[in-house]
């Protein structure tokens, strides 16, 4: 099991790292979209 990088005690593989980054990116975009929609409704 090859470690790509170490964070605290976690050894993440490249695939796991990529999956977490894409998930965070998706959640961030969803969150921003939700905030924008709420602000538009208030106008």
- For 4-25, the pLDDT digits (tens) are 555 555 666 677 778 888 888 8
Full domain range(s) for residue 35: 5-42
Find residue 41's DSSP bridge partners. none
pLDDT-based confidence at residue 1 (cuts at 50, 70, 90):
very low
Tokens of 23: 């998930």
Token pair of 35 as six digits = 């905030």
Indicate if the alpha-carbon torsion angle 7, 5, 23, 31 is positive or negative: positive
Contact predicate 3/16, CB 8 Å: no
Number of domain units in the chain: 1
How many other CB atoms sit within 10 Å of the CB of residue 16?
12
| Stated pTM of the model | 0.48
């Amino acid at each position: 099991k090859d470690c790509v990088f170490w964070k605290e005690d976690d050894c993440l593989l490249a695939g796991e790292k990529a999956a977490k980054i894409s998930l965070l990116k998706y959640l961030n975009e969803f969150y921003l979209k939700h905030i924008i929609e709420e602000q538009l409704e208030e106008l």
